[in-house]
Amino acid sequence: MSELISVAYPDAYKAADVLNAMRKLQSEYLIDLEDAAYVTKDSEGKIRLHQSVNIPAIGAVSGTFWGALIGMIFLNPLLGAAIGAGSGALTGAIADYGINDDFMKGLAAELRPNSSALFILARRYTPDKVIQELSHFGGTVLRTSLTQEAEEQLQQALNGEALPHAGAFPGTPVAQRGAQSAPP
């Protein structure tokens, strides 16, 4: 089951920096991001959503491929590709993948001007390493799907307090904690 973590930052650019750090952790196989996005709120209160996955573009590429393939069957691959790209982009624009956009915008409405928030949906992660990386940036927990105890420990880490013992992060399945011996 995926875990949702959303953290607010008092800086409009901090969430983008943290997302880049999470992508680095993903390249090191320390987190498996199902979805990630950040929102910014400018001085006038305008909210901008920054998705990490461009769904319309993916739909257009997929549609182009399938449209061209079907078009080849009917001896008109260019027309098939054009129709496929258009329908794929439209389908991608309508689809809501991962974290619900309305949910993110609703939480972003609570932010102060000139601030940002990061939203992470992780399939699997190594809690001690991810929390340690998040702690470098500070922030305030907005909402998570973690247990109450795990959420409190995350906030403590973001506040610069002592990090939880490696592998002891509550609310994390044993498979994510690493190899541990079973209790007698």
Please count the structural domains in the chain: 2
CB 48 within 8 A of CB 37: no
Short-list 47, 40, 46, CA closest to 11: 40
CB 140 within 8 A of CB 160: no
pLDDT of residue 51: 85
Between residues 181 and 70, the one the model is more confident about: 70
* Owning domain of residue 17: 3-52+99-173
Is 182 within the bounds of a domain?
no
* Model confidence pLDDT, tens digit, residues 5-30: 999 999 999 999 999 999 999 999 99
* Model confidence pLDDT, tens digit, residues 103-135: 888 988 999 999 999 999 999 999 889 999 999
Domain boundary, last residue among 94, 124, 149: 94
| Lowest pLDDT segment from 78-82, 126-130, 174-178 | 174-178
- Indicate whether 79 and 33 sit together in one domain: no
Short-list 41, 164, 165, 15, CA closest to 112: 41
- Indicate whether 30 and 46 sit together in one domain: yes
